[in-house]
With several copies, the nearest count.
Chain A
């Protein structure tokens, strides 16, 4: 099997048009800000009419060298452990083989390449636990770009591993709030030196820092349609791999933070379904954290992509941009909203969602580690648990095939496993 040559843009096949990004009524200029801080080719990807978008050669090369195609594996150990073997077949697509250990690299590579096309010298982003920051630092180094990552101060202290790794990659990791931006200074002035930081504040700092120099570009890690599109390499590979196995899935499962691994994994299948070409009975299950249950408990409306309204608003399922989720190990699923296309498809009933509590998720992670030999990222473990539930359900109805996306490994999240 080879790497797909094209990304899939589901907007072309949606049953209804995708509501566009808009400026907040009370805060103009967010869209044009976006257009001026993002790599311009990313903006193009975000506003693409084409169903298929050619993956640039340089990105393909990087995909190949970093481990794409990623494996699709039969989860025989999991089947046995669940007692569904013989009736239900479970497969998983494994993105943890990528060097930063998660799917985040798929879009980071494209975005860093795009920044280099703009003649940028530096990329900038924010990070919580560090998955995205590490992916950006990695991708940036591949295209010889400097990296500055605003890392929430509390994570900066507690997540020494990813911070050190980013630094080893040459990234400058700045605890946020910092004294490098007006937003940072204001926060420090208001709350004192001990400010733990927040993702909203880190975004504001990253954007402000990006704006201060025209050779900087800001890279977003999820939620944008372009990001979901970049991730469709996952699903496109999976589709071909399942075909090679001669397998027709009954349910696809992935976890949802902003929606990029879910969209990346399911959209190629969902698109074929929407076009009426295949997968008539295929179900799509989104596994979210009960700490941030936007798809199951959120409202469908326009809301800010970030709490500080630095970025535009999207029409999506949201818990409100100021929602503060309870502490969990799954930092990547704490986002308050879900990508516009995913929200639309959920709204229309094409996608089902389930919110899962962390203790059960981590128990599933342990079961999976023992039965399959891979320690899942806490985020990805939501997909594991949801897949277990689906497998059990199928088993009680005569059998079937569950395929889920294992978006990353948990080697650096070992505290979650304690």
Chain B
């Protein structure tokens, strides 16, 4: 099932700050969120920034196993009536030999897709096996690409009919959106043609979200800023941002 365009996605680390708070936060965000990106608590969330990393560290203390975490995600999402994809590093699951069972577990959780940020960087040879496993388990492939990425590989990924291609814009943490981010999004759009382009990292305001969408993304995902807001002002504060962004996107589509 296709994702809505434009779309807004909230990233949460599963079981953070605690399983129950996670669940109610997700619930609170769900009305304004088109789909969740849910991260399996990881020992070394390699490509994530400090805020998300600390959520992983905290969450790890709260859930014992992958299964437990996935069940929590599944439950929270279905209760909120929300779609979600699961994000995790393949490295955390034993690398290549852990791929198949991971895909099976994620598929079983009801996720639409499994996003493995380190797949193409650390295990580029595993691409076909991943797509194969995903499809065999009823998942659509999803890919993580950086803003420093080979064009021919972006084209190749687009050819694999993924649910989405996630473009990491890191570490553009400035207040206003740097020109390169816009041009990166625009170029990625061109390269992947009509594949679904999800852009993330460093988005923390409706203005930035709109700018990224206007540059050519189909959707934006916000993570660190939600975690920060939650810590500062609770679920209300986090939902405030999510809904403001969602509203801005809808208004724009008008």
The interface of chain A, by Cβ under 8 A from chain B, is: 9, 11-20, 22-23, 25, 28-29, 31-32, 34-36, 40-41, 43-51, 225, 315
Contact = CB atoms under 8 A, between A and B. Distances in A.
Contacts of A50: 183-184, 187
Contacts of A47: 146-148, 169-172, 180-181, 184
B180 to A, nearest CB: 3
13 contacts: A11-B150, A12-B151, A15-B150, A17-B121, A17-B145, A20-B121, A28-B54, A43-B171, A47-B147, A48-B147, A48-B184, A49-B149, A50-B183
Which of B50, B148, B153, B174 neighbours the largest number of chain A CB atoms within 10 Å of its CB? B148
Which of B172, B180, B184 neighbours the largest number of chain A CB atoms within 10 Å of its CB? B180
Interface string B143-181: 001111111110000000000000011111110001111
Contact of B188 (A19, A22, A32, A49): A49
Contacts of A34: 171
B234 interface: no
B183 A49 contact: yes
Contacts of B179: 44
Interface string B216-251: 000000000000000000000000000000000000
Which of A34, A45, A48, A315 neighbours the largest number of chain B CB atoms within 10 Å of its CB? A48
A46 B180 CA distance: 10
B120 interface: yes
Interface residues of B, number: 35
* 7 closest cross-chain pairs (CB), A and B: A44-B180, A11-B148, A49-B184, A28-B50, A47-B147, A35-B171, A16-B124
Given A17-B124, A22-B46, A44-B179, A32 B149 contact: no
A2 B44 CA distance: 48
B149 A43 contact: no
B152 A29 contact: no
Contacts of A49: 147-149, 151, 183-184, 187-188
Interface string B188-199: 100000000000
Nearest to A46: B148
Contacts, number: 104
A29 B148 contact: no
B195 to A, nearest CB: 15
A44 B149 contact: no
A315 B46 CA distance: 12
Contacts of B174: 35, 40
Given A35-B172, A49-B187, A20 B124 contact: no
A24 to B, nearest CB: 10
Nearest to A26: B44
A44 to B, nearest CB: 3
Contacts of B184: 47-50
Nearest to A9: B148
B49 A32 contact: yes
A19 B144 CA distance: 12
B204 interface: no
A31 B170 contact: yes
A88 to B, nearest CB: 34
A276 to B, nearest CB: 10
B122 interface: yes
Which of B53, B54, B146 neighbours the largest number of chain A CB atoms within 10 Å of its CB? B146
Nearest to B53: A28
B148 A48 contact: yes
Given A17-B120, A40-B174, 19 more contacts: A11-B149, A12-B151, A13-B150, A15-B150, A16-B153, A17-B124, A18-B148, A28-B54, A32-B171, A35-B171, A40-B178, A43-B178, A47-B181, A48-B184, A49-B148, A49-B149, A49-B184, A50-B184, A50-B187
A51 to B, nearest CB: 7
A28 B169 CA distance: 18
Contacts of A36: 173
B97 to A, nearest CB: 20
Nearest to A276: B152
A23 B173 contact: no
B169 A19 contact: no
Contacts of A11: 148-150
Which of A28, A51, A225 neighbours the largest number of chain B CB atoms within 10 Å of its CB? A28
B178 A51 contact: no
B189 to A, nearest CB: 10
